[in-house]
Structure 1
Amino acid sequence: MTAAFLETRDLHKRYGGVHALKGVSLHIERGQFYHLLGENGCGKSTLIKIISGAQPATSGQVLIEGRDMTGLDPIQALDAGIETVYQDLSLLPNLTVAENIGLSEQLVEGHGGLFRRLDRERVTTTAQRALEIVGLPADRAFLSRPIDTLPIALRQLVAIARAVASEAGLVIMDEPTTSLTRREVDNLIRTVRRLQENGAAVLFVTHKLDEAREMGGTGLVMRDGELVQTVDVGTATNAEIGYWMTGRELEQGRYRASAKGDVMPLLDVQGLSLPGHYTDLSLQVGAGEILGLTGLADSGRNEFALSLAGLAPPEAGTVTLAGAPLDVSAPHRAIEAGVAYVPEDRLTEGLFLEKPISENITMSILERLKGALGLVDRGRARARAQQTLDDLAIVASDVEAPVSSLSGGNQQRVLIGRWLATEPRLLILHGPTVGVDVGSKDTIFRIIQAQAEAGMGIIIVSDDLPELLQNCDRIAVMREGRIHETHDAEALDEDTLYTAIAGAHALAVA
C-alpha cells in the first residue's frame, strides 16, 4: 500500500501551561482537497506551522511519504515538497514579483543560502510559468514590479503562484480567499483544481464553509487542540460543521428580523462626489436600519465609506445626520457628530497589538474618562473596558493583557467595542468578519443586530454575500463609482446579488 504523502502521529504542542495540540493524527493523500476547519485558537495555525517546519512539536511524529521527518525546518519542508501560503503571505516587499516567486527553488538547492550568483533567467522562467497558471500577467513589466506596489488581492495571488512554482506535493493555504473578490476566488478554485490534477494535495485553512463545499473534499474539524471530526464537506451541513467546531448550535438563517415598515430618517446623502472614485451618490439610512454596501474592489464603495467617516473628504455634495449638516472634512469632526468607522484590516489600520486591551478599547473616549486634574482615571478606564468585554463576550485573561494575545474574533470585537464606546448614531463596518471563525461571526452578527434594535443606523461594507444577506435590510450595489441598484435583502438570493455586483463579468466566469 502506498504511503500517504503526509502523516502526523499523535502530535502534541505545549506553550508553557497552554496545551495547544492534543494528540493530532491525520493522513494527507496526493491529489486530494482538504479543509482545516475550526475556531480561532483551536490549534489550526499551530498544526500547519509544525507541518511546514516553522515550529517543532513537543511530541509526536511527522512522516512524509513514509519517511520520519519529525523536527524538519522550513527549508527541509520545501525540499520535501511542502509549500505554505501563510495569512501574512510572507512575501518580501522590496523584491520583485519574479524574485518572490522564483527565489525559493534556488534557496532549497542552496540548503537555505545562496552560495552562488542568482540565476535571474531561471527566476524569470519559473515565475512566468507560475503566473500563467494562476491567471496573472507574465510580461516583463509585471514581473519587475516590487511586491509593495501591488494591491493586497494581487499579492495573495503572487503568493499562490510561488507555491505553484515549486511543484509541491502538498500546498497549504492559510485563509487564501480573505482578500479576494468572488471572481478571484473562482480563479483560485480553478488553479487549485489544476494542482490536484497534477497530483498535489491542497490543504485549505478556512472559515468559509460555502467555499469549502464548492471545492469539495475532506473537512478536518478541530476544536480545543483536537481533531474531532473528519467529514465530506460536500454533504455535511453548515449547521453540523458549526456544531463540531464550537460545541453549540449556530444560527443558519437570517439574523435580521423582517422589516418594520417606515423608519425615522437618520443619514441623508445627496450628490456626493470624489473624482476618480465615485460620482453623484445619493442614499438614505434610517435609525435602526442596516444597509449593506457592496461592489467590486474598484466600484468606489470603499472610498465612499471612507468619505462618510471623514477619511476621504468628498469634493461635492451634502451629508446630513439626524437632520443636521454632517462635516466630513476630517475624521474627528465625523466622530464628534456621532459617526464611527471600523476598518477592514484590524491588524494594520485598527488595533495597537502590543498595547493592553483596556487602552485599545478606551482610546476613543479618553476625554470622558478624565478626572478633576485632567488626567485619565485608570480605574474608570479599566471598568469601562471590562464592561465592553462582558457586553461583547470577549474572551481574555485580563483587560491589561496585550490585544495581540487574543484570537482574531476577540480582536475584532475589541475593535468594534472601541467604537461602540463612543455611543455613535451611525456605525460603518468595513468587512466586520474578515478572517473570523463561524463562532465569532455568530457573536458579531448578534452584536450588530442588537445595536440596530437599539436605534443605531448601520452600514456594512462587505464582499461576503451571505454576511450581507443574513444581516441587512437593504443592499446597495455600486458599479463604476455609482449606485447601480438597491435591493430588499430579505427577498434577494446570492446568485442574483453576485450578478448585480459583477455585471458582464459574471458571464465570463466559467
Structure 2
Amino acid sequence: MENKTLVMKGITKSFPGVLALHDVDLEVKPGEVVGLMGENGSGKSTLMKILTGVYRLDSGTVTWGGKQVSFATTRQAQVAGISIIFQELNNCPNLKPLDNLFLGRELYRKNSPFLDLKTMQEKAAEVFKYLDVSVNMDTEVKKLSTAQQQMIEIAKALLMNVNLLIMDEPTSSLSDRETTKLFGVIRELKSRGISVIFISHKLDEAFDITDRIVVLRDGENVGELVTKDSSQDQLIMKMVGREISTLYTKRTAKPSDEVVFEVKNLSGPPYVDDVSFAVHKGEILGLAGLIGAGRTETARLIIGAVKKTKGEVLLNGKPVEIRSPEEAVAHGIAYLPEDRKVQSLVLKMTVRDNLTMSIHKVLTNWFGIINRTQEREITDKYIKSLDIKLTNREQIISNLSGGNQQKVVIAKWLATVPKLLILDEPTRGIDVHAKSEVHRIIAELADSGVAIVLISSELAEILGLSDRVVVMQEGKVRTILDRKDATQETIMSAAFSGSANGVKETA
C-alpha cells in the first residue's frame, strides 16, 4: 500500500440479468489524476458507486488509506474523505443554491440550535469565487441553467474535506471556458496532494488533465495508458476494440436555399433579447456561446415552453403561434432538451414506453388502441440504429446507463420525423463510439432535408457539424458565421467581445 491512496481489487457486481463488473482492479496514488474511460455500460459509474457506498459489491476488496473499507452510504465515504460528483445532477430543484450546498451538513452557531447563515454564505461566496462562476443565490435551483446546476454540484464537493474527488462527466454541460476554469481547479487540488478520478467521454479532456487512463470494456479492466505517452487512437482502440475512422460523417448534400424556419426579434424571460436567425432545408445551424448566453432559453421560447414577450416564429415563410411543446410537435418541430431526467424521460417506465410516447397519436387507431406491433418495430429499429445497450425493450429506463438513456431520448424525437430538429447538447454523456453514431445520424438527417439547430458546449462539435454558426452572448445574437469563417478563435472572440473581427454578420 506504500504511496497508494486507493486500491480496488477483484471488484465484481451483478444486477438482474447483467454482469456489470467482473474482477476489476483500480489503483490511485496521492495527488494523481486518473481517467476512467469506456463506452456507455462499460461499468465506470457502477465501480464508483461501489466505492462511495451507493452499491454493495458481490466480491472483491476496497482499501482506502491502508485500511480495508466497505462504505454503506455516500455519507460514510464523505466522512472518510471520498466525494463524488455524479453524472446525474443531485440538486434539490425547489431549494436555493445555499440550501443545496449545505444540505445535510448545515453549519450552526456555537452552542446554539440556530443556523450560522453568515458563515455558510461566506463559504459559498468563497467557493464560487474559487470556481470563477456567478450564481444567483436568491433563486430556486430549478430556474438556473443546467451548467450552473453542474457548478453547484462541483462546489458542494469542494466544500467537503476531500482527499479523493470523483468527477463523473463534470464538464458535460460546461462550455470550453468553464471547463478551462475547472481544469485549473483540478490542477490546484492535485498540487495539494488531493487525488481525482476523472470520468469523461471527451477524449481531448482526458488527455489534457489526466496522468493515467484506466479503460473498462464490458465490465472488465482492459488495461491502462500513461497519458503523455499515448494517443487518442490508442485509447479508442482499447475502449471499443476497433478503430473509429472519423467522428464527423462527411455530408453528401448541401443545404437548400429554401428557408424552413425563422425567428425574428424573438425576446422572452430571462435571457433572450431580440434574437433573429433563419434555418434552411438540410442545414445544420450551430448555436454557440458561454454559460448564460441564452441558447437553451431561445430553444424553449421557440417550442412554447416559455411564453415570448416579442417576436415572430415562421415556418415555411408563414407566421405560427406556438404556445406549448405539444403544439411545436404538431408543427413538425422537435426539441431534445439538455436535461434528460427532468425534461425527457419517465424513469419508472420502460424503454419502449419512453421511446414511443412522442408518437402515440400516430400509433393509435380510431378506437384509441395503440398498435403494439408497430410500436415494438419502431422501438427495435432505433435500439439497433443507435446501438442502445439494454437487456430488452421492456427494461425500466432508470436501469440504463446515463449515455444509453440519452440515446433513447434522441430516438424518441427522431421517431416524430421532424421538419425542424432542435438538439440541445445531444451527445452529453455519450461515449466516443455512440457520439460518432449520433453525428452520423445528424448528418444523414440534414442530407435528407431536415433543418437542424444544434446547441453544444463542445466547440469541436459545433465546428465539425455546422453549416453556419450563430454566436450568442447575454441573450443576443452577436454574429452569424459561415462555415468557412467559423473557427474557435472567431467564435470565442464573438462570445467574449460581442463581435467577430473581419466577419460579416448575416441573418
Question: Which range, TM-score by smaller chain?
Answer: 0.7 to 0.9
Cα distance in 1, alignment partners of residues 419 and 186 from structure 2:
45
Aligned to 2:328: 334
Aligned to 2:192: 198
Cα distance in 1, alignment partners of residues 185 and 116 from structure 2:
22
Q: CA shift at 1:466, angstroms?
A: 1.4
The amino acid of 2:34's aligned partner reads Y
Report if the CA contact (8 A) 2:348-2:397 is conserved: yes
Q: CA shift at 1:177, angstroms?
A: 1.8
Q: CA shift at 1:8, angstroms?
A: 1.3
The amino acid of 1:442's aligned partner reads S
Report if the CA contact (8 A) 2:255-2:282 is conserved: no
Alignment counterpart, residue 475 of structure 1, candidates 466, 469, 485: 469
Pair 151,136 (structure 1): closer, same or farther in 2 beyond 3 Å: farther
Q: Which is worse superposed, 90-99 or 179-188?
A: 90-99
Cα distance in 2, alignment partners of residues 504 and 146 from structure 1:
29
Report if the CA contact (8 A) 1:478-1:501 is conserved: yes
Q: CA shift at 1:247, angstroms?
A: 1.6
Report if the CA contact (8 A) 1:409-1:441 is conserved: no
Cα distance in 1, alignment partners of residues 407 and 396 from structure 2:
14
Alignment counterpart, residue 425 of structure 1, candidates 415, 419, 427: 419
Q: Which is worse superposed, 337-346 or 276-285?
A: 276-285
Aligned to 1:10: 10
Pair 150,285 (structure 1): closer, same or farther in 2 beyond 3 Å: closer
SS at match of 1:442: helix
SS at match of 1:272: strand
Report if the CA contact (8 A) 1:20-1:224 is conserved: yes
Cα distance in 2, alignment partners of residues 72 and 46 from structure 1:
15
Question: TM-score scaled to structure 1, two decimals?
Answer: 0.86
Aligned to 2:504: none
Aligned to 1:485: 479
Cα distance in 1, alignment partners of residues 59 and 319 from structure 2:
63
Q: CA shift at 1:219, angstroms?
A: 1.2
Aligned to 1:363: 357
- Cα shift readout 1:238-274 (whole Å, capped 9, x = no counterpart): 3322221122222445434387375333223333333
The amino acid of 2:371's aligned partner reads D
Aligned to 1:84: 84
Report if the CA contact (8 A) 1:263-1:288 is conserved: no
Cα distance in 2, alignment partners of residues 453 and 42 from structure 1:
32
Q: CA shift at 1:464, angstroms?
A: 1.6
Cα distance in 1, alignment partners of residues 262 and 62 from structure 2:
59
1:163 equivalenced with 2:157 (yes/no): yes
SS at match of 2:264: strand
Alignment counterpart, residue 270 of structure 1, candidates 264, 280, 295: 264
- Cα shift readout 1:263-310 (whole Å, capped 9, x = no counterpart): 333223333333653333332211111110122232232222222223
Alignment counterpart, residue 301 of structure 1, candidates 291, 295, 316: 295
Pair 124,238 (structure 1): closer, same or farther in 2 beyond 3 Å: farther
Aligned to 1:63: 63
The amino acid of 1:59's aligned partner reads S
Q: CA shift at 1:380, angstroms?
A: 2.7
Cα distance in 1, alignment partners of residues 83 and 340 from structure 2:
27
Pair 423,92 (structure 1): closer, same or farther in 2 beyond 3 Å: closer
Q: How does 1:342-381 map to 2 (within 5 A)?
A: 342-381=336-375
Report if the CA contact (8 A) 1:85-1:163 is conserved: yes
Cα distance in 1, alignment partners of residues 322 and 87 from structure 2:
34
Pair 501,287 (structure 1): closer, same or farther in 2 beyond 3 Å: same
Q: Percent identity?
A: 36
The amino acid of 2:493's aligned partner reads T
Pair 162,278 (structure 1): closer, same or farther in 2 beyond 3 Å: closer
The amino acid of 1:325's aligned partner reads P
Pair 256,473 (structure 1): closer, same or farther in 2 beyond 3 Å: farther
Q: CA shift at 1:48, angstroms?
A: 0.9
SS at match of 2:357: helix
1:132 equivalenced with 2:156 (yes/no): no
Report if the CA contact (8 A) 1:326-1:334 is conserved: no
Superposed CA RMSD in Å reads: 3.3
- Cα shift readout 1:120-163 (whole Å, capped 9, x = no counterpart): 6778657745752552699xx98898766755444433433333
- Cα shift readout 1:7-52 (whole Å, capped 9, x = no counterpart): 1122222224422112122221111111111112111111111222
Pair 7,266 (structure 1): closer, same or farther in 2 beyond 3 Å: same
Q: CA shift at 1:169, angstroms?
A: 1.8
The amino acid of 1:287's aligned partner reads K
Q: CA shift at 1:314, angstroms?
A: 3.2
1:19 equivalenced with 2:19 (yes/no): yes
Aligned to 1:110: none
Alignment counterpart, residue 322 of structure 1, candidates 299, 316, 320: 316
Cα distance in 2, alignment partners of residues 308 and 73 from structure 1:
43
Aligned to 2:50: 50
The amino acid of 2:209's aligned partner reads M
Pair 118,345 (structure 1): closer, same or farther in 2 beyond 3 Å: farther
Aligned to 2:31: 31
Aligned to 1:395: 389
Aligned to 2:224: 230
- Cα shift readout 1:221-242 (whole Å, capped 9, x = no counterpart): 1111112132233453333222
Report if the CA contact (8 A) 1:51-1:62 is conserved: yes
Report if the CA contact (8 A) 1:290-1:458 is conserved: yes
The amino acid of 1:327's aligned partner reads E
